[in-house]
Chain A
Amino acid sequence: MGERILMKGNEAIGEAAIRAGCRYFFGYPITPQNEIPEYLSRRLPEVGGVFLQAESEVAAINMVYGAAGAGARVMTSSSSPGISLKQEGLSYLAGAELPCVVVNIIRGGPGLGGIQPAQSDYFQATRGGGHGDYRTPVFGPASIQEMVELVMEAFEVADRYRNPVMVVGDGILGQMMEPVVLPDPKPLDSLPAKPWATTGNQGRPPNVINSLFLDANLCSRHNEHLQEKYREICRREVRYELVDPEGAEIYFVAYGTTSRVVRSVMNRAREEGIITGLIRPITLWPFPQEPFERVVERAKAFLCVEMSAGQMVEDVRLAVNGRRPVHFYGRTGGVVPSPAEIADALRKVLEGRDPGA
């Protein structure tokens, strides 16, 4: 492990990718993630890699497809409107089983929206924004240190399952600076072999990267194979943090930046004698069921807080499955919920009222 340094979130993402063995980046400018391509345009050539600014997000994700199919660790990043454009490519990457990492520094939408922080792409990220029955693991870090670690882990998970992995942040995580300890770079000779890659069929039958199955039965079999893989990911790759103090009755559910605001509300509430817990999903898909099972019996209610009109709350309701009330408080369009607003929502839940009403 290296020394503790101060780094901007977006630049830390770029450095983490390089330390994970990523040598190829294809992207297109969009705020608030521009420091990622800017950093990599400088750093990748230094380590023998390639940074290429594509003509569009559509082209960028298809360059990722080609590079991933050629066996490389490869990344692209964008922000919400650009991620919408990458959905076609994501569906193809999932269908052709190609590993890559896609970072979404989410901004307020819909449409052009704004450039301020939001979490309104949760549905798109966790449901698969492109066509077809596919899934992508989604990591939602809450600090720059965690961002670095999860970006590196994202490459491992992508290669392990031959599947795209998303890392979602927002303008706050991308733009702020925090102290971070950068893990040692992964030796390139330790990266997993990819005998399926198209590298020229010297001494072996041709490899084909493909998602086309014109025969319905073959297409169905391919889908069953993908679903088995997704079940395996659900069994093995769930990550979450559970803050479960003695005496907690109300449990917050929040991820990313919002979870940090919630924590300050929890600390202040404790000073007033109100003890609360927190379930913080780190993988948004697969969504963690386990922490809900651990606390649902003693919980009085759950309060989900998001920078959206209420997206993850649907997964919370599925996890709780009617056993306890699930409340929601959110701000939209790039407005970060203030500690006072969340404290007010908590008060309403304690009084048995709906904070969203």
Chain B
Amino acid sequence: MREVFTRPKSMRKVVMHYCPGCTHGIAHRLVAEAIDELGIQHRTIGVASVGCSVLAYEYFDCDFQQAAHGRAPAVATGIKRVLPDRVVFTYQGDGDLASIGTAEIVHAAMRGERITVIFINNAVYGMTGGQMAPTTLVGQVTTTSPGGRDPRHCGHPIRIAEMLATLEGAAYVARVSLHDPAHVARARRAVLKAFRTQLEDRGFALVEMLSSCPTNWGMSPREALRWVKEKLIPQYPLGEFRVPEEEARP
């Protein structure tokens, strides 16, 4: 019988702690599939961040370092500078990357650090229980914006992919969504490109993934996916904001 669906080799056979309907599982799988497809499992070092994905090292079957909140790009820099022929990726959420870790992500991109960053944007702090994130939408109710995010009080949502795409060191910057199979397939291609960008020594690569958080949004998994499509995407347009130069030529 032909096998049509199986666990990627780069994922461990363990039960994940993620909530039902959360898209972290899909994102993990896309990264593991890319690692398998490129044949780099045994020379890849992942960096886990602080947030819901703090236990990522339990799910990926490769070497891992767990970093302090927001510092994953700095930790990845240290690894990559010591081991330039290895593949280094970080897996960070929006509280981690877009708030406490803004200096580290901007400067890793500025330096053109040869790392791949998987950035999960679900518009909320997940692990700590649904507080407002820099990515929270205007009017979105969270546990620390009970009246909805008021831009006069705490500003407008931050668009990380567009910001980083202004930097010459960023070779590949894309935003994808995980809300339906067609978009997941596109996300898969973006993750592959982001790893190839590193393997081809072109520079820094980041894939921002719009993800759902049914638990903290107070929605069913299906409602949450619809909310990604109808609310998050208009605020965070999908696309490739920067691609390696050779590829950009017609």
Which residues of A pack against B, CB within 8 Å? 24, 26, 50, 52, 54-56, 58-60, 62-72, 74, 88-89, 92, 96, 198-203, 206-212
Contact = CB atoms under 8 A, between A and B. Distances in A.
Among A50, A62, A71, residue most surrounded by chain B Cβ atoms (within 10 Å): A62
15 contacts: A58-B74, A59-B103, A60-B74, A63-B77, A65-B75, A66-B65, A66-B67, A69-B78, A71-B82, A74-B82, A88-B68, A200-B45, A201-B61, A208-B57, A211-B66
Interface of B: 41-45, 47, 54-55, 57, 60-68, 71, 74-83, 86, 103-104, 106-107
A24 B77 CA distance: 12
A141 B113 CA distance: 37
Contacts of A65: 65, 67-68, 71, 74-75, 78
Given A59-B77, A65-B67, A96-B65, 17 more contacts: A24-B81, A50-B82, A55-B104, A58-B103, A62-B104, A63-B75, A65-B68, A65-B74, A66-B65, A66-B78, A66-B80, A68-B78, A69-B75, A74-B78, A89-B71, A201-B41, A201-B61
Nearest to A100: B78
A66 B66 contact: no
B66 A209 contact: yes
B83 A62 contact: no
Given A62-B74, A208-B57, A202 B79 contact: no
A55 B107 contact: yes
Which are the 3 A-B pairs with shortest beta-carbon distances? A66-B78, A62-B74, A67-B78
Contacts of B81: 24, 50, 52, 63, 67
A319 B148 CA distance: 58
Contacts, number: 131
A24 to B, nearest CB: 6
A64 B67 CA distance: 12
Contacts of B57: 206, 208, 210
Given A55-B103, A56-B103, A69 B68 contact: no
Contact of B66 (A59, A67, A208): A208
Contacts of A200: 42-45, 62-63, 83, 86
Nearest to B17: A214
